[in-house]
Amino acid sequence: MNWVRYTLPAAAILSAASPAYAVRYLSIEEAQKEAFPSATHFSEVQASRVWKAEAGGKVVGFFVFDRVVGKHLFIDYAVALTPAGAVHKVEILEYRESYGGDIRSPSWLAQFVGKTAGSALKINGDIRNIAGATLSSTHVTEGVKRILAAYGNRLR
């Protein structure tokens, strides 16, 4: 196999655009329907955060909306719980990529750094244990654990 070599002009590298990356996958309502297709009614247990899904008067599960910091920006996600309080589904609703964002908004980033000074050490300790894992997925995983701790036994 032959290889073709290209030398990137320095100017081209410097001027390359950094497209901001944000994806909205599902709205809260769409995610609710997706998680519990049989549900006929969703009632708020906790305003804008926890919903109870019911089908014909019977509880089919709970839906918890949450938000964690990815690398720098928030990730909106939802955890669907079974009536017994186990995870039924974890779904990403909105993902905002940080690269580019942190360059354009240094003040936002600085604010984040200040707020989570305590958790930085934890990331330093934990994240290296997972080859190839991103900060974002680790944070969502921690968020799910937190939701389970907070709601796993309390709802039902």
Residues 62, 52: contact at Cβ < 8 Å? yes
- The verdict on 117 binding another protein (CB under 8 A) reads no
- Verify binding: residue 134, another protein, rule CB under 8 A: yes
Strands 58-69 and 41-46, by their bridges, are unpaired
Q: H-helix or E-strand containing 26?
A: none
> Taking CB under 8 A as the rule, does residue 71 contact another protein?
yes
Contacting another protein within 1-30 (CB under 8 A): 1-8, 12-13, 16-19, 23, 25-26
Contact between 141 and another protein by CB under 8 A: the answer reads yes
Of 47 and 129, the one with the shorter C-beta distance to another protein is 129
d(CA 4, CA 97): 32
Residue 118, token pair as written in the block = 């305590």
Q: Which of 60, 140, 147, 155 binds another protein (CB under 8 A)?
A: 140
